[in-house]
Amino acid sequence: MATAKVETIVITESEGAPCFEVTEVVAHAGRGLEGDRYFEGKGKFKKLEPKRQATFIEMEAIEAVSRDYDIPLDPTEPRRNIVTRGIALNHLVGKTFSVGEATFRGIKLCEPCDYMQGLVGKPVREPLKHRGGLNAEIVSSGTVRVGDAVTVTD
């Protein structure tokens, strides 16, 4: 049985700025990912809500867009923070799960929007529909690193 894991970690410092990869990030309960736009209050949505603390997307979804729609897509482009492999994120809505040293709770699906598509500059909204990721609340703080396991705890 394959282990679900973190493939890539993506943050950006301000609204609309290009995203970049990091090898680890500190997740702060109730606040967000250190260094990311929402942690700093500089995201498109100024009000920090639990659903904006961290976002996840499956690497398999990114690869499917490239393969099935012939739209090359880099893991930073969908603007989701934690790129996973080996776990169905849609099934984590309402569930608690651990990633590295941190614990998260899935809030709702993170459907792609026109704003994200405009920043990407590619027609990815429809190809990512219903597989655009997961919005999550950070329940307990800790460091998340590339390669860390993703484990459902309830």
Partners of 89 in the β-ladder: none
Q: What is the CATH number of the domain that holds 145?
A: 2.40.33.20
Q: pLDDT per position in the chain (154 positions), as tens?
A: 568 999 999 999 888 888 999 999 999 999 999 999 888 777 665 556 677 799 999 999 999 999 999 999 999 999 999 999 999 999 999 999 999 999 999 999 999 988 888 989 999 999 999 999 999 999 999 999 999 999 999 8
Name the domain count of the chain.
1
The candidate with the shortest Cα–Cα distance to 116, out of 57, 64, 30, is: 57
Residue span of the structural domain in which 40 resides: 5-152
